[in-house]
Amino acid sequence: MLRMASEALNLYLDEGLIAAAHKAADREPIASALTFLQVQTGEVVRHKPAPTRRDKSATQLILRRPTTPEEEMMVWAYRCWLFEDAQAGAAAVQMLFETYYGLTDAPTAADGLKRWVSAVHVADLLRNEPHFARDAAAWHQAAREQLQRLSQQAKRDSVLDRAWLSLAQWIEAQYQRDASAAAAALDQARAIVDLIHPEGYIKPVVDVDDAQRGFQQMLEVTGALCLMAEAAEHAGGSLWAYQNRGVGISTAVAYVVSFYFYPGKWRWGGALDAAFVTDQLNQHGAFLEMAARRAPLRATDILLEDLRPMFSLYFGGLTTFTHGAPPEPEPKKRRFLW
């Protein structure tokens, strides 16, 4: 049984999104997102239509991809939140606390900030779980101290670091109800949007010697901006609509998505492999569900139809459930008075 829509998350959601997901729980793409939470690696998540000339009803099996222990922690947290699964909630809390996930050093500041953001997301999912609620204040204090350390480690000349730092600082400002800090974080994000080229790339991000690293960095910066925009949308901020000379977040989204279809057109640091692009989008492209809702593109819709359900530890969680429900149609205008 699904938890009621009135208990919506604070981070990237509002009650309208959750209500829409509940309403469409037995239809795609929401149904396969819920199935993802309940099956094991390699089991069927959905039957994707794959018609051929001979068989118009043909389908392709989409299997649950392998997940890391940290991703499983988030899956357990979703199960606790959505299905009131006490055992899954206890397992998620135990792992979050015992591993100090998100609160320890990482290879780079960007890695540390991604882990921090995802840890806060897990904590948000678990906020009503009894074991977590008992020690929530201490955990959030530790998270606050870790963010201070990460803020000092972040390189000011790294667009990747700045993108994730602005998101983390926005989230912390919301928890602290600090309007001035939230405004400053939003300004930092707008400054990164100002760096987007009209073609969609950010040159310091993509212009590196390794094509795979360049694409991955562009994907991660775009994802951080989308998460920031979605979080701001539900707290009175505005980033989805922000543009500089007609260029905004949707421009970067379109650029990243294009390489799913045309990886050979990548021109930075060598050739880009199609399998690598698909793997990166599978693991980290969950934010595209948010982008598809806020800035619809036909190409994004096609990509999502291929790869759903979208789930990512760092980039928004199970966004096919939270953001994949089709918007409610506009009510038809009555032509007559009777």
Q: Return the ∠ at Cα 213 (arms to 208 and 215), rounded to 5°.
A: 95
The phi, psi pair for 55, rounded to 5°, reads -135, 100
In the CATH hierarchy, which fold is given to the domain comprising 15-323? Glycosyltransferase (1.50.10)
Confidence check: pLDDT of 333 > 70: no
3-class SS of residue 67: coil
Per-residue pLDDT at 330? 52
CB 162 within 8 A of CB 156: yes
What is the rounded average pLDDT for all residues in the chain? 92
Q: Where are the alpha helices (DSSP H) in the chain?
A: 15-23, 30-36, 69-83, 86-98, 109-125, 130-153, 159-176, 179-193, 203-206, 211-233, 249-261, 274-284, 287-294, 298-307, 319-323
CB 30 within 8 A of CB 320: yes
pLDDT over 90 for what percent of the chain? 83
Q: 183-240: per-residue pLDDT in tens?
A: 999 999 999 999 999 999 999 999 999 999 999 999 999 999 999 999 998 887 789 9
Confidence check: pLDDT of 6 > 60: no
3-class SS of residue 49: strand
**Antiparallel, parallel or unpaired: β 59-63 and 44-49:** antiparallel
Per-residue pLDDT at 142? 97
Question: Which residue's structure tokens are 């199960």?
Answer: 79
Question: Per-residue pLDDT averaged across 96-104, rounded?
Answer: 97
Confidence check: pLDDT of 143 > 70: yes
Question: Per-residue pLDDT averaged across 38-48, rounded?
Answer: 93
Confidence check: pLDDT of 1 > 50: no
Which tokens sit at 188?
A: 């930092």
Confidence check: pLDDT of 149 > 90: yes
- Split at pLDDT 50, 70, 90, the class of 3 is very low
3-class SS of residue 312: strand
Q: 271-311: per-residue pLDDT in tens?
A: 999 999 999 999 999 999 999 999 999 999 999 999 999 99
Domain boundaries, the chain: 15-323
For the entire predicted model, the pTM comes to 0.93
Question: Per-residue pLDDT averaged across 151-169, rounded?
Answer: 97
Per-residue pLDDT at 57? 77
* Integer CA distances (angstroms), 259 to 35, 145, 201, in order: 29, 38, 12
